[in-house]
Structure 1
Amino acid sequence: MKFDLHTHHYRCGHADGDIRDYIEAGIREGLSVIGISDHMPHLFSPLDHPSPAITMSRLELGAYVEEVLRLKKEYEGRIDVLLGIESDYFIDHERVYREAIERYPFDYVIGSVHISSGKSIFDRSRWEGLTPEIMIEAKKEYYRLIEASARSGMFQILGHIDAMKGYFPDFSAIPADEAVESALKTIGELGLAIEVNTSGGTKTCGGWYPSDAILERALHYGVSISFGSDAHKPSRVGEDFEAVADKLREIGFKEWVYVKERKPVSVAL
């Protein structure tokens, strides 16, 4: 069976189409399960919508939940529509996000680190002029945040865990194996999943998140794997699902998971 747990829509300010468009795309792609997981508002700000090109507004969150639940009922029997959300992880603002997550009946929450050391992980200029030593510390800090996000207990899936390579492909070669291993060990011990996210193919790195090397270590630590296209336009729903499945089998995985009602559901590869 096919599933895709990472999709966005117009509310986040940088995606095309409405939720129905993504559900219909999922049906065309032969998906049995589609998760809607738009960007959680930046709740640490007193403003309703401090980041209109990045997340939905605080006032839209309730309407988003209601729309997904309504469409879930409408499409019952054709495709299983899951209510998800992608939440940034801010280590200094856990409480406000935890309260928001528990306020709604999310099937799952994807926890993603988009800001590390005060800068976007996709900031093309963040690596300019840095010494190798500083690059190593930047990578370690990124994985410290990912490990902290796992320990927070707020998330069932961790999103695109090497997305820092998106516009800096040399990121993968920065030697910080101990930090990566520590994060994966914690994720495995806590029974969480990481996603294979195929949106990396739209970035400079030209490949999925995470790398094959990270997936091999994830297998070693018993980390569950999920799938997300991270589609920001309906045409990308389910993108490369079969190719990812082939790669996971090659590495040695026997199954992967989607998450419903906060619990993993295993699917044989």
Structure 2
Amino acid sequence: MKFDLHTHHFRCGHADGNIRDYIEAGIAAGLSVIGISDHTPYFGSPEEQPFPHIAMAKSEIGNYVEEVLRLKEEYARKIDVLLGIESDYFPVHAEAYRQVLSRYPFDYIIGSVHSVKDVSIFNKRRWKGLSEAERIADKEEYYALIRESARSGMFQILGHIDAMKGNYPAFSDIPAAEAIDETLRVIAENKVAIEINTSGKTKLSGGWYPSDSILERALHFGVKVTFGSDAHTPRRVADEWDDVAKRLKEIGYSEWVYFKNKQKVAVPL
């Protein structure tokens, strides 16, 4: 059984296509389940859409939910369409996000850290001129935020947990084994899943998130895993699904999961 829980569309301002395009792409890829999970609006500002090329406008979230639910019904005999959303995790704004998101019947919410010390994790310039100690501190802060997001109770899935390597491949070589192990332990304790996200191929790092070494440690700690292409164009729906399934079995996983009505559904590998 194939599924993909991480897809975007035009509302976020940096993806192509509409929701129907992604559903049709999922059917063509042989999916049984497709999750629609566009970026939340930015709730840390009173502005309607402070970042139009990053997140949808506040007024669009209701339209988004309504459209997904309508298409879920329309496609019920062809594919199970799930209502998801990808939410940033900002500690200072967490309660604002929690309150708004609780109003809607999401099947799952992906929690993603996209910013550390108020700088995008994908900003290539953030690393320029930093000492080794400063690089380690930034990496440890990234994982501290991921741990906090896992403890928040807001999310069923944590998104791309080593994506800070995306435009800085040397990130993987910054020593932080203890921070990563502690993060995986916290994730397991809080019964949150992590995604294998294949969008790394669109960045300088290539490959997918997280690395095999993190997946091996995740298995050790009992962390559940799921799949998300993080497609920003319909042609990437289910991208590398078979390769990921094969690699997970090689690592030692016997199942992965998806979420419906915020309940975990196990799927044998």
* Paired position in structure 2 for 1:112: 112
* Paired position in structure 2 for 1:260: 260
- Residue-by-residue CA offset, 1:212-260 (whole Å, 9 max, x unaligned): 0000000001000000000000000000000000000000000000111
Question: 1:178, CA displacement in angstroms?
Answer: 1.1
1:44-123 equivalence runs, <5 A: 44-123=44-123
Question: 1:47, CA displacement in angstroms?
Answer: 0.2
Letter of the structure 1 residue corresponding to residue 161 of structure 2: I
Unaligned ranges ≥5, structure 1: none
Unaligned ranges ≥5, structure 2: none
Task: Tell me, in whole angstroms, the C-alpha distance in 2 between the residues paired with 1:115 and 1:27.
Answer: 34
> What's the TM-score, normalizing by structure 1?
0.99
* Paired position in structure 2 for 1:214: 214
SS in 1 for 2:63: helix
Task: Tell me, in whole angstroms, the C-alpha distance in 1 between the residues paired with 2:80 and 2:164.
Answer: 32
1:1-269 equivalence runs, <5 A: 1-269=1-269
Task: Tell me, in whole angstroms, the C-alpha distance in 2 between the residues paired with 1:190 and 1:200.
Answer: 26
Q: Provide runs of 4+ in structure 1 moved above 2 Å.
A: none
SS in 2 for 1:206: coil
- Residue-by-residue CA offset, 1:68-103 (whole Å, 9 max, x unaligned): 000000000100000000000001111111111110
SS in 2 for 1:178: helix
Aligned residues: 269
Letter of the structure 2 residue corresponding to residue 125 of structure 1: R
- Residue-by-residue CA offset, 1:19-53 (whole Å, 9 max, x unaligned): 00000000000000000000000001000100100
SS in 2 for 1:126: helix
Question: 1:199, CA displacement in angstroms?
Answer: 0.1
Question: 1:210, CA displacement in angstroms?
Answer: 0.2
CA RMSD in angstroms comes to: 0.4
Task: Tell me, in whole angstroms, the C-alpha distance in 2 between the residues paired with 1:46 and 1:192.
Answer: 30
Question: 1:182, CA displacement in angstroms?
Answer: 0.8
Task: Tell me, in whole angstroms, the C-alpha distance in 1 between the residues paired with 2:249 and 2:21.
Answer: 31
Q: Percent identity?
A: 64
Task: Tell me, in whole angstroms, the C-alpha distance in 2 between the residues paired with 1:94 and 1:168.
Answer: 27
Task: Tell me, in whole angstroms, the C-alpha distance in 1 between the residues paired with 2:191 and 2:141.
Answer: 22
Task: Tell me, in whole angstroms, the C-alpha distance in 1 between the residues paired with 2:67 and 2:38.
Answer: 12
